[in-house]
């Protein structure tokens, strides 16, 4: 049995969680504390990095204490400390990673620096024991990409947005229509009362080969349509939100169909599974569309519960557990926490692509990289 404390501070949630893994590799969440900073950023219409970092510093110790208390664990029962080491807002990542290093050092436990995206990628193995390989659609405020998850630490990016992330497009659309921050839930709510057919909005790159996506033009089309309607009524806002959301869902449906085909070509003997993760995966209209495209391809869609789709520390603890489990099977000494073989010398990374291909091309944010 391994038990890991996870810490997440890469954006505007301060989170800590304790998760355990039994000998069969099955996980259980013992505590999962998330404190959102939404109210601190709301009046700015988006996350202010300096405010985020300061707020993480103020509350993180208490959040960690609460996670340990709710899990009923003390340091003797903890096998390791995992923290997001990137990608994300650098001030916040520094706060979380340095706190984790201090805790690991004081308690003589190994430190695991986790890629935030790997946390999202592996959540479905915690909730649904999904086996490798599988498809991952990661849709959040900062990322929109299809990935092939081949194994632990073995990811291949199949396609990505060439401009805005979907969550970002939801947030910007909400802002230009005068809706509250964060925009995703606000646009979804307004869309329920709207007519998706009233405005004709573009579906960028829909007919292009491959899995690339683009959302900036769609957002601009919403702006242009809204300007023509000035002064914009509540019904117009609802109709624009409905049209925008439907266009996004159409693009996702089209790209996901291609992703399933690609998976089947690559792994003809494996029943295809697509995992959807990231904050936008909380959108029910998008989930419904994904479920129908999966059904049409005799595939399974795995969508973790909403609270585990948005940023949280249980996913970081779980990614840490998967790594610690793998490392300790090769080198049991790592569990002694003497800093040998763990990530104690890891630097916080603002950028950190999951797949090795983009990493070697970009090299950005890597320790010692020339950028
Ligand atoms: O994964 P996440 O919590 O944070 C990162 O970006 O890493 O995702 C946050 C994003 C925001 O852009 C937010 O507007 C979007 O997810 N989001 C939604 C919904 N709930 C959150 N987008 C569409 N519909 C939703 N219901
Ligand atoms: Zn995230």
Measured in angstroms, how far is the CA atom of residue 184 from the centroid of ligand 1?
6
DSSP string for residues in 117-145: HHHHHHHHHHHH-PPSSEEEEEESSS-EE
Structure tokens at 79: 């096998």
Q: Which helix (H) or strand (E) holds 2?
A: strand 2-8
278 lines ligand 1 (CB under 6 A): yes
Determine how many CB atoms are found less than 10 A away from the CB of residue 106: 10
Please write the tens of the pLDDT for every residue from 138-183: 998 888 999 999 999 999 999 999 999 999 999 999 999 999 888 9
Query: Distance between CA 88 and CA 96 in Å, rounded?
Result: 11
The answer to whether residues 305 and 32 touch, using CB atoms and an 8 Å cutoff, is no
Does ligand 1 lie within 6 Å of residue 304's CB atom? no
Percent of the chain with pLDDT over 70: 96
Bridge-based pairing state of the strands 13-21 and 27-36: antiparallel
Question: Checking DSSP bridges between strand 27-36 and strand 111-115, what pairing results, if any?
Answer: unpaired
* Other CB atoms within 10 Å distance of the CB of residue 26: 11
Q: Please give all residues whose CB falls under 5 A of ion ligand 2, grouped by chain where several chains appear.
A: 140, 311
Measured CA to CA, the distance from residue 138 to residue 75 in angstroms comes to 34
Give 261 Cα–ligand 2 centroid separation in angstroms.
27
Closest-CA residue to 139 (of 165, 109, 102) = 165
Q: Measure CA of the first residue to CA of the last residue in the chain; give whole Å.
A: 41
- Residue of 93, 150, 95 whose CA lies nearest to 116: 93
Tell me the pLDDT tens digit for each residue of 116-143.
999 999 999 999 999 999 999 999 888 8
Q: Which residue has the tokens 């201090």?
A: 102
Mutate to test the pocket of ligand 1, among 141, 192, 288, 307 (most ligand atoms within 8 A of CB): 141
Cα 80 from Cα 342, distance rounded (Å): 10
Contacts of 309 (CB under 8 A, 6+ apart): 123, 276, 277, 278, 279, 281, 282, 303
Q: Identify the band that residue 358 occupies on the pLDDT scale cut at 50, 70 and 90.
A: low
Q: Whose CA is nearest to atom 16 of ligand 1?
A: 279
Tens of pLDDT along 316-353? 999 999 999 999 988 888 888 877 778 999 999 999 98
Ligand 1 pocket check for 342: Cβ under 6 Å: no
Please answer whether residues 245 and 196 qualify as being in contact, where contact means their C-beta atoms are separated by less than 8 angstroms.
yes
Regarding the beta carbon of 164 and ligand 1, being less than 6 Å apart is answered no
Alpha carbon distance 320, 317 (integer Å): 5
Query: What distance in angstroms lies between residue 116's CA and the mean position of ligand 2's atoms?
Result: 7
Per-residue model confidence as pLDDT tens digits over 58-109: 999 999 999 999 999 999 999 999 999 999 999 999 999 999 999 999 999 9
Beta-carbon count within 10 A of 332 CB: 9
Question: How many C-beta atoms lie closer than 10 Å to residue 77's C-beta?
Answer: 14
Ligand that lies nearest to the alpha carbon of residue 191, given by its number in the listed order? 1
98 three-class SS? helix
pLDDT of residue 217: 93
Looking at the CA of 46, name the nearest ligand.
Answer: 1
Instruction: Using most ligand atoms within 8 A of CB, pick from 38, 45, 167 the residue to mutate for ligand 1.
Output: 167
- Ligand 2 midpoint to CA 230 (Å): 35
| pLDDT tens profile 268-302 | 999 999 999 988 998 999 999 999 999 999 999 99
Per-residue pLDDT at 195 exceeds 80: yes
- Whether residue 183 has its Cβ less than 6 Å from ligand 1: yes
**Quick one: which ligand is closest to 248's CA?**
1
pLDDT of residue 367: 36
The predicted pLDDT at position 362 comes to: 38
Phi, psi of 168 (to 5 degrees): -65, -40
Q: Which strand (E) or helix (H) includes residue 190? A: helix 183-191
111: pLDDT strictly greater than 60: yes
Residue 35's beta-bridge partner residues? 14
Tell me 310's DSSP state: S
Cα of 362 vs centre of ligand 2, distance in Å, is: 21
Quote the pLDDT of residue 356: 65
> How remote is the C-alpha of 21 from its chain's centroid?
21
Q: Which of 10, 89, 161, 170 to mutate to test the pocket of ligand 1 (most atoms within 8 A of CB)?
A: 170
| Preceding omega of 87 cis (within 30 degrees of 0) | yes
Any ligand 1 atom below 6 A from CB of 272: no
By the 10 Å C-beta count (0-12 exposed, 13-18 middle, 19+ buried), 206 is classed as: middle
How far does the centroid of ligand 2 lie from the alpha carbon of residue 351, in Å?
13
């Amino acid at each position: 049995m391994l038990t890991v404390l996870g810490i997440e501070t890469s954006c505007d949630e301060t989170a800590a969680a304790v998760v355990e893994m039994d000998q069969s590799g099955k996980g259980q969440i013992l505590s999962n504390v998330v404190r959102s900073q939404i109210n601190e950023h709301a009046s700015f219409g988006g996350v202010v990095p300096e405010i985020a970092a300061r707020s993480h510093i103020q509350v993180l110790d208490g959040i960690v204490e609460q996670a340990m208390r709710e899990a009923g664990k003390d340091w003797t029962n903890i096998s390791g400390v995992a923290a997001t080491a990137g990608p994300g807002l650098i001030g916040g990542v520094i706060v979380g990673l340095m706190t984790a290093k201090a805790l690991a050092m004081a308690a003589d436990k190994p430190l695991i620096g986790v890629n935030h995206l790997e946390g999202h990628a592996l959540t479905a193995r915690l909730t649904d024991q999904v086996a490798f390989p599988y498809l991952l659609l990661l849709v959040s405020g900062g990322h929109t990409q299809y990935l092939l998850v081949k194994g632990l630490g073995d990811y291949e990016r199949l396609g990505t947005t060439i401009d805005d992330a979907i969550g970002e497009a939801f947030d910007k659309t909400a802002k230009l229509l005068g809706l509250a921050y964060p925009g995703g839930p606000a646009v979804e709510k307004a869309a329920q009362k709207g007519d998706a057919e009233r405005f004709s909005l573009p579906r960028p790159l829909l007919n292009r080969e491959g899995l690339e996506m683009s959302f900036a033009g769609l957002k601009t089309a919403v702006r242009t349509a809204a300007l023509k309607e000035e002064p914009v009524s509540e019904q117009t806002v609802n109709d624009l939100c409905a049209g925008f959301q439907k266009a996004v869902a159409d693009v996702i449906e089209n790209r996901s169909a291609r992703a399933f085909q690609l998976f089947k070509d690559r792994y003809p003997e494996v029943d295809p599974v697509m995992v959807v993760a990231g904050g936008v995966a909380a959108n029910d209209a998008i989930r419904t569309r994904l479920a129908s495209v999966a059904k049409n391809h005799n595939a399974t869609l795995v969508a973790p519960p909403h609270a585990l789709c948005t940023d949280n520390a249980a996913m970081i603890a779980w990614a840490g557990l998967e790594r610690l489990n793998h490392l300790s099977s090769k080198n049991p000494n790592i569990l002694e926490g003497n800093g040998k073989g763990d990530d104690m010398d890891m630097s916080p990374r603002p950028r950190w692509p999951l797949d090795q291909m983009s990493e070697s091309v970009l090299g950005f944010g890597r320790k010692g990289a020339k950028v």
